[in-house]
Structure 1
């Protein structure tokens, strides 16, 4: 028999399988990855640095969908807004990965490089060094919270008796079908307005 054109097991397949499990179940384990791939658990460990290594592979995979080129746009607030929207879309595609990824430190080199670009962009815009990480972390809080909201049921408020909460019923009717995008853009606008004030405060 000839040799297979593709290896039976590699980091790419392990990452894909782990992400499938996370999307389906909210978590993964090395034995479950091995079972789905039809290999021994020990075989998986030959390719990755344990569970932590797989988490970082997942981080790289999800973050690869973020368009880092948005950070090159001008002015700086346009760049940060575009980065935020791309960041949100990447994580909204895999919302169950968010709790998993936020529970461990960022180590993946490719992801750290994107943070470096964001830091440089803000420093070039004139932000003091002490403000740079709070600005980035605040943006992440906004983005990841909205990505989770996008995965929530469209009807998050179930009114059994609209006569008891008539104004809530009216407010929900107005935003039906677009609440997550409207809320995100509102929060993003407020965030950017505060950052502009921060930048312009002596």
Structure 2
């Protein structure tokens, strides 16, 4: 038999299979990817540099949905907020990837380019070099926490005896629709306001 015209596997198919496993299970294994693609485990290693290489492919795929072009907008606070919202949406689509990606250093060139653009935008806005990564990490803390919150059960509090926690029961009953989005915007707004004071200092 001749070789198939379309390869059974390539980096794109490996990435898709890995991300599907992560979305379903929060994890992947190289043998699991091989089974999903119907190939031998050894064949995977012809296309990627082991597990770490696959993690970076997943990172690149998820982060590829982040719109970094908004960082070129003015003023800087609107640009940063737009980037944060896009970042949140990208990871909210794959919340189970967050713990996996947080456990390994960022190496994917395209993802590093996105950070380069964010650093450049903050420096252009006048932030001190020593503060730039602190600002970016603060934004990521809000973004990734909110992305995980979007994947949480609709109610994270199950009151067995409302009489013992009456204030909590009333507060939960008063929660309006869209709580997660409102909480994200509140946290993001608070961050931007603090960043503004940092810039003015």
- 2:61 and 2:32 map into 1 onto residues whose CA distance is 19
2:117 is the counterpart of 1:117: yes
- 1:55 and 1:84 map into 2 onto residues whose CA distance is 22
Shift of 1:91: 0.4
TM-score normalised by the chain length of structure 2: 0.96
- Aligned equivalent of 1:157: 157
Shift of 1:89: 0.5
- 2:3 and 2:29 map into 1 onto residues whose CA distance is 29
- Aligned equivalent of 1:108: 108
Larger deviation, residues 156-165 vs 107-116: 156-165
The structure 1 segments of at least 4 consecutive aligned residues displaced by more than 4 Å after TM superposition are none
Shift of 1:171: 1.4
2:164 is the counterpart of 1:167: no
- 2:168 and 2:6 map into 1 onto residues whose CA distance is 57
- Aligned equivalent of 1:42: 42
Shift of 1:125: 0.2
- Aligned equivalent of 1:99: 99
- 2:176 and 2:147 map into 1 onto residues whose CA distance is 18
Shift of 1:129: 0.4
* Correspondence list, 1:16-31, <5 A: 16-31=16-31
- What secondary structure is seen at the aligned counterpart in 2 of 1:175? coil
Shift of 1:159: 1.2
Shift of 1:73: 1.4
Shift of 1:164: 2.3
- 1:79 and 1:52 map into 2 onto residues whose CA distance is 32
Task: Name structure 1 gaps, 5 residues minimum.
Answer: none
Shift of 1:88: 0.4
- What secondary structure is seen at the aligned counterpart in 2 of 1:157? coil
Q: RMSD of aligned C-alpha atoms?
A: 1.3
TM-score normalised by the chain length of structure 1: 0.96
Larger deviation, residues 158-167 vs 142-151: 158-167
Q: Give the number of equivalent residue pairs.
A: 201
- 1:170 and 1:187 map into 2 onto residues whose CA distance is 23
